[in-house]
Copies of this chain bind each other. A is one copy, B any other.
Amino acid sequence: MAPYSCMTKPQLEAEYQKELEAYAHWKAQGLNLNMARGKPAKKQLDLVSDILTTLQTPEDCFDGSIDARNYGELAGLPCARAYWADILNCKPGQVFVGGAASLNMMFDIVSRAYTHGLLHSDRPWCKEETVKFLCPAPGYDRHFQIGEFYGAELIYIPMTETGPDMDMVEEYVKDPQVKMIWVVPKFSNPTGITFSDETIARFANLKPAAPDFSIIWDNAYSLHEFEGDYTPFPDILTLCEKAGNPDMVFEFASTSKITFAGGGISCMAASEANIEYFTGIFGVQMISYDKVNQLRHVKYLQNKAHTLEIMKLHASVMAPKFRVVADYLNREIRPLGFASWTDPKGGYFVSLDAMPGTAKRVWTLCKEAGVTLTNAGASFPYRFDPQDRNLRIAPSLPPVEELEKAMGVLCVCLKLAALEKLLGKDAI
């Protein structure tokens, strides 16, 4: 196989006919496969289902003298706050433990910023003429969606292999209308890259013009290596504090990909001043989050060391799937030289750059052959990929045998769309 760029038109035409046939072959199979969202596989959920029987009797339901079954402890059970502090290398007083979804807490922070303001806001953001959010992309679509929902102007910051383009970030935060940046610092969604120490230090040392500029540090995959050992990660709270920016960061984590995606616990870590401010505000909306599930989780996961043992179980299911993705792309696409992709060692995604101008077409071709991918462009602010080339691959849900088929389809579609482009064909 030669790169497409070295082929003559007749050779490309022959390739095109071959891929058309392969595509027809896949289509005839009537597949219904999904690589759209980062959902854990049933096998992973089964491996951690012992958590169901962690609490069995009334006596099991106490954290010291606190009855987890009753109202109270808005900021979370003390043992749950201590658990997350252990995971994130921060202090229990810097932790607020929530319900099943960390996304909901991020949303609540933004919602309250708009209607009431953050700790250092001069006024609620709804009273600002313009509010701008920095959106390193490819990034997490649901992050951008929250900003869009509140009418923030989303500014695209390119991602590099060491994190967001920090020169741009440092420049943009000089604008007092820039109020937030949204990142997944370890095993980033969807590129899978981990921010370098330099990037992290530059984040902590930002000198934003807005007194209430905030970093949404979504540490969703902090323990989620599927290849190799756990790599410790700097505590952003301490770094921000040392840099004189103690209240600038809100860190989030959850057990959605440790225990159950449909029934985990989440946390927000921030300065004690921020935790105090938001505990007051959250006290208007609720009496307490589900503390029984908090206790169930702490008894099952115990601490960071034990949680990392559980993550090995997940890795045993995840690693073979990411190998399938890499194997297919390396074998089928790499020699053709028109696409590139990331090779993460943790997290839930592979970010694939198809031939520029073909991502939407690849998505449609896959869909028509029964393979659902995350919408092309979804990883960009306003769902607009300026080069129409990025696709997010989420290989966790399907079993390996289904994933092999899905990757077979994807590779054919990548080629077909590239060949259409090169040959000036509009559609099949």
Contact = CB atoms under 8 A, between A and B. Distances in A.
Nearest to A127: B126
Interface string A39-60: 1101001100100110111101
Interface string A136-157: 0000001001100110000000
A52 B60 contact: yes
B100 A70 contact: no
Stoichiometry, as copies per complex, reads 2
A72 interface: yes
A319 interface: no
B262 A70 contact: yes
A266 to B, nearest CB: 10
A68 interface: yes
B40 A49 contact: no
Contact of A58 (B46, B55, B150): B46
Interface string A106-118: 0110010011100
A284 B287 CA distance: 23
Contact of A115 (B150, B287, B288): B150
Interface stretch (A177-185, A290-298, A339-347): A290-298
Contact of A286 (B49, B101, B287): B101
A68 B103 contact: no
A300 interface: no
Given A67-B45, A99-B100, A103-B285, A72 B262 contact: yes
Interface of A: 37, 39-40, 42, 45-46, 49, 52-53, 55-58, 60-61, 67-73, 99-101, 103-104, 107-108, 111, 114-116, 126, 142, 145-146, 149-150, 256, 260-263, 284-293
5 contacts: A42-B67, A49-B69, A52-B292, A262-B291, A290-B290
